[in-house]
Structure 1
Amino acid sequence: FNENWIDAEPRSGKVGGAFCMGVRRGESRILANYSPSFSWVSTLAHELGHAYHNLAEEDRTMIQAGATPMTLAETASTFCETILRKAALKTVGAEEQLVILEGSLQDAAGTIIDITSRFLFEQSVFERRRDRELSADEFNSLMFEAQKATYGDAIEESTLHPYMWAVKGHYYSMDYAFYNYPYMFGMLFGLGLYAQYEQDPDAFRESYDDLLSSTGMADAADLAGRFGIDIRSKEFWVGSLDVVCEDIATFEELVAKSK
């Protein structure tokens, strides 16, 4: 803020949303649009996580830093958001906690559940497309079945969206197969790291920056393995989901007390 590296002022004609852009070694610029809400603060934390990731790669070559895959690009941003949320929940009242948790859980549901349905849809499309072209009705059916497989009985079937394939532009680009999957992987990877951090904060701090600086130098499994983390194990991903489950349990407890 002091060096004007964050453009947070909402202005007429300014593009919406937020993003972080590295401009030179270890230095970033952030575009955001301020609003008096926790959601905005969380968005800023997310973008600052990207900026911290860029800083961690300061001593890497441009090729090494630029090779970070999408599956690891959300590591620091997710971690930063989680730190903020956990800290905020300890300092605000029950009503504010409900607002924070509801927003966080809606995001988690969209990233984990809905993206799973999109992954299953694309997977089934590619399997069938090997043999022949598919009709619009078949796309509808595959999308409907993918959503039922992931949402189960959590929502009414009448609210499912069989035409989702028609409104998401990335389905029509050859460069974006399984486009949303890295966001789910990245979120769960970041939450898994947070679970590791909670178990041993001091040991985690010693290796965190080194891990971020190396994201363009190995795939996720090999990189995590260097730091004693086995992402091929079920336990790691259960730990990721446990972070979300803790928030669900807290949310349910707060709702019960508010009645």
Structure 2
Amino acid sequence: MSEESAPRAGGRVLFVDDEPQLLRAMRITLRARGYEVRTAVDGGHALTEAAAHPPDIVLLDLGLPDMDGIEVIHGLRGWTGVPIIVLSGRTAGQEKIASLDAGADDYITKPFSVEELLARMRAVARRAPAAETGPTADVGDYRVDFAAKAVTAQAEGGSAVHLTPTEWRLLEALVRNPGKLVSSRALVSQVWGPAYAADTSSLRLYINRLRRKLEPDPTRPRHLTTEPGMGYRYQP
């Protein structure tokens, strides 16, 4: 059920889970870290709560008693871009991909460490405004200029990096979502079109091409990273 507001420091969190003990423990933990916490034990209440008290971040379990958590994601994404982190005991890759495709920003498998959760929360909080700011972004030693659709080395007199149109679309899809885990299907849909969303066979090839052009060590990428079986992430 909903909780009374605490002094806001870390932001407003809506925690959605049908496990009372977990709700109680996480409410205490997050409030101790300065977050204002509200809770919901099912999907319907979560959607009502989010509309009445818009959160800064949603922590969402998939296995809810009245509806699947993915339905909640769809419901939220109909009107808000609030960051959503799924917390679930479901470990199957297709569940993670379905959550990301529905609009979740990240996915953590239960059981999870509090420190990992807090780190992921900080990451999505940083990312929310960053995705809408500025005409440029940096990938390591390179500057990505969205307006000019160009990549150049940041060193004095830095040379331009030639990217094919497909490489550019893929890079843009990742860099415009800093820190966000983007599913392989979503990337293929954005780059090649929705009709090809199920065919991810070429994606790894193009990711590797980008790494060879932009990463200091393409075999150990720092900025264009892989989440095995799920997708890719741009790490600023």
Please give the TM-score of this superposition, normalised by the length of structure 1: 0.24
**Higher RCO structure, 1 or 2 (CA under 8 Å, sep 6+):** 1
- Bigger strand fraction: 2
- Bigger helix fraction: 1
Please give the TM-score of this superposition, normalised by the length of structure 2: 0.26
